[in-house]
Amino acid sequence: MLSIIICTYNREKYIGPLLESIAKNDYPTTDYEIVLVDNNCTDNTRGVCEQFATTHPEVALRYVVEPEQGLSAARNKGIKEAQGEIIIYVDDDALVDTDYIRTYAEHFADNPTTMAAGGPIEPLYETAEPAWMSPYTKSLLTAWMNYGDKVREYPKGRYPGGGNAAYRKIVFDKVGLFNTELGRKGNLLLASEEKDIFDKMKALGMKVLYLPTPVLHHCIPQAKLEEDYFNRLTLQMGRSERMRTRAISKGKYIKRLLSEGVKWCGTLVLLSLYTLQGAPKKGWKLILFRKNVTKGLLGLIEE
């Protein structure tokens, strides 16, 4: 049994198409459930889900509400509600391929030592991709992730994207639930809650693998390409890392600060390379990204 968990906050535009894409999967509906966690939606999300349940009675859909605002709280609610041994988190503004569920199910059935896995995330732009977009900003803004066409371990320092990740449920018995101080809360763009989980898994030697075939298509509206969103997101990324590392230890925070210096060196190199290639906008966007993360990491923004 698998549990597909969708945590949502005011995404009525996307929930219907997402649920339809799941229903089209080539996997027995008797072997999975959808747990939709409403994190205080004020739009018509419930109505959309009720309509889906009416037209797809063969799909087990459970609609639950998590009153504590925040993605981590909603994810934890999903874990508690899930009846499956495998939990798959799917973003509420995405679409999945028809072999999505089957790919995860078969991998976990055939590989008992795999404790978590993730797949590619491809952007589905609602408008044109901007000229300043680079692989680095694409990963930041769209959650784009693709590590090739073979099953493999994630590159050092990388881990599954939160919107396309699967876990054995027992993982959370061993590492605990998501930290509710981290992760998005309404319109507040905090992050690092997945990184916190995967760091704990790594410390316990748990195997986490990249799978090439469970592809998720992430819908990207124009609003996510605007400068205001970019600034808010990157500032809160830095703030989240400050919160996460300081909660572990002073030494962990200092180590993160030192790594930020290394990242600055890499960013300056990329600025030079993009400028030489005639694409300086890509380089300067990375400078803004690094500047905002550093500012948040140093605590130079309002809490």
Closest CA to 240 of 149, 173, 301, 282: 301
Read off the pLDDT band of 188 (50, 70, 90): low
Q: Could you tell me which of 70, 67, 41, 303 has the C-alpha nearest to residue 185?
A: 70
The DSSP secondary structure of 49-66, one letter per residue, reads: HHHHHHH-TTSEEEEEE-
Q: Verify that 171 and 256 share a domain, yes or no.
A: no
DSSP 225-254: GSHHHHHHHHHHHHHHHHHHHHHH-HHHHH
Last residue of a domain, one of 178, 206, 225: 225
Range of the domain at 236: 229-297
Of the residues 196, 225, 254, the one at which a domain ends: 225
Residue 302 has pLDDT above 80, yes or no: no
Domain count, the chain: 2
Secondary structure tally for the chain: helices H, strands E: 10, 11
pLDDT over 70 (residue 179) = yes
Q: Are residues 244 and 203 part of one domain?
A: no
- Residue 164's pLDDT is 96
For residue 34, give both structure tokens: 């959808």
23 found inside a domain: yes
Contact 215, 119 (CB under 8 A): yes
Strand order across the beta sheet in which 121-125 lies: 94-96, 216-220, 121-125
3-state secondary structure of 263: helix
Each residue's pLDDT tens digit, 221-259: 999 999 999 999 999 999 999 999 999 999 999 999 999
**DSSP three-state, residue 171:** helix
Identify whether 303 is part of a domain.
no
pTM, to two decimals: 0.90
136, 146, 158, 187: which is closest to 289 by C-alpha? 136
Digit-coded pLDDT (tens) for 45-65: 999 999 999 999 999 999 999
Let me know whether 218 and 278 are in one domain. Answer: no
137 and 7 within one domain: yes
Write the pLDDT tens digit of every residue in 118-139.
999 999 999 999 999 999 999 9
| Average pLDDT of the residues in 201-228 | 96
